[in-house]
């Protein structure tokens, strides 16, 4: 497992909570490893290495960037360079008002049309204190979907 984190994602976990051996990549990794033409480019190498990508959670900002092809951080560069023959799963998570906005539906539809797999959000108490749809799917649901795809038994949720 290799973990790509955005600057905002760093606020939600501690490296000490991760299993041993999980490699963490962020925007600084991209630029530290590349110094001259011919050096490996991290977002390209990650895409070559991985047989599947899971984005969990996928916030409204990154969803919008992905749907428009914006590449302004390691995660969005990696998704833009992703081999479309390999599965990319995404787990939206945002406030209910953001989830219900019409542009969110358009952006989700775009990713699905590209062949990416949505693991829809669920309804529960959100970080802001509101209750409604927008919480990331339960980890168990995400793991089941990953396993079903790896075993070639992909079905819609």
Over residues 82-99, mean pLDDT: 97
pTM of the model: 0.91
Q: What average pLDDT does the chain have?
A: 93
Selected residue with higher pLDDT from 43 and 11: 43
Q: What's the confidence (pLDDT) of residue 61?
A: 97
Is 74 contained in some domain? yes
Residue 43: CATH number of its domain: 3.40.50.1950
Is 41 contained in some domain? yes
Is 113 contained in some domain? yes
Is 102 contained in some domain? yes
Is 122 contained in some domain? yes
Quick check: 10 pLDDT over 80? yes
Looking at the chain, the whole-number percentage of residues with pLDDT higher than 90 is: 76
Is 91 contained in some domain? yes
Is 64 contained in some domain? yes
Over residues 139-155, mean pLDDT: 89
Over residues 129-135, mean pLDDT: 95
Quick check: 157 pLDDT over 60? no
- Domain of residue 104 covers 2-150
Q: What's the confidence (pLDDT) of residue 135?
A: 96
Report the domain count for the chain: 1
pLDDT tens per residue across span 33-90? 777 888 889 999 999 999 999 999 999 999 999 999 999 999 999 999 999 999 999 9
Alpha helical stretches, state H, the chain: 27-33, 42-49, 60-68, 74-80, 96-99, 102-113, 139-150
Quick check: 156 pLDDT over 90? no
Catalytic-residue membership of 71: no
Closest CA to 40 of 81, 72, 86, 89: 81
Q: What's the confidence (pLDDT) of residue 155?
A: 56
Is 157 contained in some domain? no
Cα distance between residue 100 and residue 86, in whole Å: 29
């Amino acid at each position: 497992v290799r973990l790509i984190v955005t600057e905002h994602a760093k606020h939600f976990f501690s490296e000490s909570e991760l299993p041993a051996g999980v490699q963490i990549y962020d925007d600084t990794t991209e630029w530290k490893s590349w110094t001259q033409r011919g050096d490996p480019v991290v977002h390209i190498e990650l895409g070559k290495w991985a047989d599947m990508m899971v984005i969990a959670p996928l916030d409204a900002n990154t969803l919008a960037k992905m749907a428009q092809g914006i590449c302004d951080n390691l995660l969005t560069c990696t998704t833009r360079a992703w081999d479309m023959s390999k599965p990319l799963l995404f787990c939206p998570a945002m406030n209910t008002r953001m989830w219900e906005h019409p542009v969110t539906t358009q952006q989700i539809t775009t990713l699905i049309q590209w062949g990416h797999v949505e693991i829809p959000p669920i309804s529960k108490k959100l970080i802001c204190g509101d209750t409604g749809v927008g919480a990331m799917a339960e980890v168990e649901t995400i793991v089941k979907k990953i396993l079903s795809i790896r075993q070639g038994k992909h079905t819609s949720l």
